[in-house]
Amino acid sequence: MQELVITAVGKDRHGLVEALSGVVAGHGANWERSSMAELAGTFAGVVSVRVPAASVDALLADLDRLEADGLLRLEVEKAVGDPPDDSSELRHRIEITGQDHPGIVHDITRALAERQISIETFTSEVVPAPLGGQMFTAELVVRSDPSFGSDELQEHIEAVATDLIVDVEPAEEQAS
């Protein structure tokens, strides 16, 4: 079996995921994990699939045809292998809320990178604040060295901006 990572982008409309999943299923591939969203009228997604080695070329050809039809722009990469064993790392779930401003994502991710903290998932949005203005909200799952606990992580991120509200908890194990 070969694992492929497919990135798909296109003008949002009905049937995009169905078209992609139909090609995947048509070659006996298993849809393993995905993250997809509509962002500003554009569909964007990434999915990992496992396909029988003998079907890889045919799957890639059908994905090329799907792209040629103009439905989606696709990038396909062969997976680099199993992720490193991170059983010694701690997983944290982080919720961040604060007044939105340019550069907030960079400030947060720089704070994490400074401590060599790896981001597994990052979801964010800007929403109207109750009293006017815009609020930035984010939810992250990160991995850190066991010596870097939740309290230290929370303090480190809060130091980025005094107006951020940061909640850090141990992440529940997720089925892969």
pLDDT, tens only, 109-144: 998 999 899 999 999 999 999 989 999 999 999 998
Cα–Cα dist 170/40, whole Å: 32
Cα–Cα dist 51/28, whole Å: 6
Cα–Cα dist 137/92, whole Å: 17
What predicted TM-score, i.e. pTM, was given to this entire model? Answer: 0.79
Cα–Cα dist 144/51, whole Å: 32
pLDDT digits (tens, 9 = 90+) for 3-51: 999 999 999 999 999 999 999 999 999 999 999 999 999 999 999 999 9
Query: Using an 8 Å Cβ cutoff, are 34 and 27 in contact?
Result: no
Domains of the chain: 2-78 (3.30.70.260), 90-170 (3.30.70.260)
Cβ-based neighbours of 87, under 8 Å, separated by 6 or more: none
